[in-house]
Amino acid sequence: MDANSFAPPSRRISGAEDMRRLIVDKLVYSVGKDPEHSVRQDWSAALILAMRDQLVDRWMASTRKAYEQDQKRVYYLSMEFLIGRLLRDTVINLGLEEPVREALTMLGRDYEEILRSEPDAALGNGGLGRLAACFLDSMSTLGIPAHGYGIRYENGLFRQSLDDGWQAEEPEDWLNTGHNWEFERPEVVYQIPFGGSVGEDASGKRVWQASEVILASAFDTPIAGWRGNHVNTLRLWAARPAKRIDLASFNRGDYMSAMASAVRAETISRVLYPDDTTDEGKNLRLRQEFFFTSASLQDLLRRFLSTHKDLRQLPEKMAIQLNDTHPAIAVAELMRLLVDTHGIGMDAAYQITRNTLSYTNHTLMPEALERWSLTLFGAVLPRHLEIIRWIDEQHLRTAAAAQRSLDLERVRIVDHGNGNGHGVRMGHLAFVGSHRVNGVSALHADLMKQTVFKDLDAVYPGRILGVTNGVTPRRWLHSCNKPLSSLLIETIGEAWVADLEAIDAVEPFADDAGFRERFRAAKRENKEKLAAEIQQRLGLKVSPDVMFDVQIKRMHEYKRQLLNIMEAIAYYFAIRAEPEKDWTPRLKIFAGKAAPGYQMAKLIIKLINDVARAVNSDAVVGDRLKIAFIPNYNVSLAERIIPAADLSEQISTAGMEASGTGNMKLALNGALTIGTLDGANVEICERVGEDNIHIFGLTAEEVANYRLSGYDSRAVIESHPVLKSVLDAIGSGVFSPEEPGRFRAIVDRLTYDDYFFVAADFAAYLDTQRQVDAAFADEEEWSRRAILNTARVGWFSADRAIRDYAREIWGVDTPPPSAFAEAAE
Ligand code: 26W
Q: Ligand 1 centre and the CA of 127: distance in Å? A: 6
Looking at the DSSP bridge assignments, the partners of residue 465 are 438
Mean pLDDT confidence for 496-516: 98
Residue 734 has a pLDDT of: 98
pLDDT digits (tens, 9 = 90+) for 632-675: 999 999 999 999 999 999 999 999 999 999 999 999 999 999 99
**C-alpha of residue 719 to centroid of ligand 1, in Å:** 35
CA angle 368/371/372 to nearest 5° reads 140
- The Cα–Cα gap between 782 and 232 comes to 41
Whether the predicted pLDDT of 420 surpasses 60: no
In angstroms, rounded to a whole number, what is the distance separating the alpha carbons of residues 153 and 174?
9
Query: What are 18-57's pLDDT values in tens digits?
Result: 999 999 999 999 999 999 999 999 999 999 999 999 999 9
As a whole number of angstroms, the distance between CA 372 and CA 423 comes to 5
Tell me, yes or no, whether 795 lies in a domain: yes
Give the predicted TM-score (pTM) of the model. Answer: 0.97
Instruction: Indicate which residue's Cα is closest to atom 22 of ligand 1.
Output: 660
Cα Rg, the chain, nearest whole Å: 27
Has residue 496 been placed in a domain?
yes
- Residue in 655, 63, 577 with CA at minimum distance from that of residue 366: 655
Bridge partners of 184?
219
**Nearest atom of ligand 1 to the alpha carbon of 370:** 2
**Any catalytic annotation for residue 416?**
no
Instruction: Sort residue 221 into left (φ over 0), alpha (ψ -120 to 50) or beta.
Output: beta
Contact indicator for 776, 103 with CB cutoff of 8 Å: no
- How far is it, in rounded angstroms, from Cα 682 to Cα 771? 20
pLDDT at res. 576: 98
Rounded mean pLDDT of 137-162?
96
CA dist 806 and 789 (Å) reads 27
Q: Which of 73, 287, 395, 553 is catalytic?
A: 553
663 phi/psi in degrees, rounded to 5: -55, -40
Query: What distance in Å separates the CA atoms of residue 800 and residue 123, rounded to the nearest whole number?
Result: 25
What is the average per-residue pLDDT within 579-608?
97
Find out whether 365 and 656 touch, Cβ atoms under 8 Å.
Answer: yes
Q: For residue 541, indicate whether it is catalytic.
A: no
Q: Is residue 711 part of a domain?
A: yes
**309 in any annotated domain:** no
Strands (E), 598-638: 625-629
Q: Which residue has the higher pLDDT, 464 or 7?
A: 464
- Which atom of ligand 1 is closest in space to residue 444's alpha carbon? 23
Least confident window among 8-22, 357-371, 443-457, 519-533: 8-22
Asked, for residue 447, whether it belongs to a domain, the answer is no
Q: What are the backbone dihedrals phi and psi of residue 105, each rounded to the nearest 5 degrees, phi first?
A: -60, -45
Q: How far is CA 711 from the centre of its chain?
A: 33
Orientation of helix 561-577 relative to helix 599-616, angle to 10°: 20
Euclidean distance between the first and the last CA atom of the chain, given in angstroms as a whole number: 42
Q: Looking at residue 360, what is its pLDDT?
A: 98
pLDDT tens-digit series, residues 523-557: 999 999 999 999 999 999 999 999 999 999 999 99
Q: What is the pLDDT of residue 825?
A: 44
**665 in catalytic set:** yes
The answer to whether residue 218 is domain-embedded is no
d(CA 81, CA 135) in angstroms, rounded, equals 10
Cβ density class 584-617: b for 16+ within 10 Å, e for less = bbbbbbbbbbbbbebeebbbbbbbbbbbbebbbe
Q: Tell me whether residue 101 is in a domain.
A: yes
Identify the pLDDT of residue 279: 87
Active site residue 554: yes
Decide if pLDDT at 3 tops 80. no
Residues with CB under 6 A from ligand 1: 125-128, 131, 273, 362-363, 368, 440, 469, 657-661, 679
Q: Please, are residues 646 and 776 in contact by the beta-carbon 8 Å criterion?
A: yes
Q: Look up residue 199 and give its DSSP letter.
A: E
Structural domain of 27: 1-69+86-119
Q: Which residues contact 227 (CB under 8 A, 6 or more apart)?
A: 93, 94, 95, 498, 823
**Residue 188: predicted pLDDT:** 98
Residue 652 Cα to ligand 1 midpoint, Å, equals 14
H/E stretch holding 780: helix 779-792
C-alpha of 358 from chain center: 19
d(CA 136, CA 114): 24
Count of domains observed in the chain: 2
Report the side by side order of strands in the sheet with 146-151: 183-194, 212-224, 231-241, 146-151, 73-77, 318-323, 357-360, 436-439, 464-466
The domain spanning residue 618 has which CATH number? 3.40.50.2000
347 located within any domain: no
Give the residue with greater pLDDT, 402 vs 12.
402
- Phi, psi dihedral angles at 43 (to 5 degrees): -65, -40
Q: What pLDDT, in 10s, does the model give residues 46-87?
A: 999 999 999 999 999 999 999 999 999 999 999 999 999 999
Helix (H, G, I), strand (E, B) or coil at 724: helix
